[in-house]
Amino acid sequence: MKPELEVQIRACWPNWFGQHTDTSKSLMGVGFQHGDGWFDLLVRTFRRIEPDVAAFNLELSKIGTQFEIIVVRQRFGELSIVAMPTTTEIIIAFLDARYESLTICELCGAPSELHTAYSQTRCTQCAPQKH
Ligand SMILES: [Zn+2]
């Protein structure tokens, strides 16, 4: 995703990403590894989990840790978000986002479908390409 869009997300939720610089614990040092078309879906998903994360962080603070998103990437044409630690509600929100990403072009955000031969979710304008 474009750096400008990443900056917007990190500004909205500054404590959710990148506490770990160790790439064995988090891949957020390499950024959001997907196209710009899923930006709005990400924002909607993160807004949805805000109350869950706030409540969860209150609990986690008792044991000296906090919620953290460690991976955001395109995988097999789907948006994959991984957090650690996490809750059932947050996992369900991420699974909903994964499912919805199959209807949104990863590159431009237009209505789209998964092209299984390429494992890419693309609209007709942004037809899938071989890697
Ligand atoms: Zn497109």
Distances 108 to 8, 40, 61, 64 between C-alpha atoms, Å: 18, 11, 39, 40
Residue 74: which residues within 8 A CB-CB, separation 6 or more?
A: 33, 34, 35, 38, 80, 106
Q: What is the pLDDT of residues 66-86, one digit of tens each?
A: 999 999 999 999 999 999 999
Q: Distance from the CA of 1 to the center of ligand 1, in angstroms?
A: 14
Can you give the pTM of this predicted structure? 0.91
Average model confidence (pLDDT) for the chain?
A: 92
pLDDT single digits (tens) 7-57: 999 999 999 987 666 677 777 877 899 999 999 999 999 999 999 999 999
Domain ranges of the chain: 3-122
Residue 78 per-residue DSSP state = E
pLDDT band at 108; cut points 50, 70, 90: very high
Distance 71 CA to ligand 1 centre (A): 23
Q: Could you give the CA distance from residue 16 to residue 12 in angstroms, rounded to a whole number?
A: 9
What does the alpha-carbon distance between residue 57 and residue 36 come to, in Å, rounded to a whole number? 29
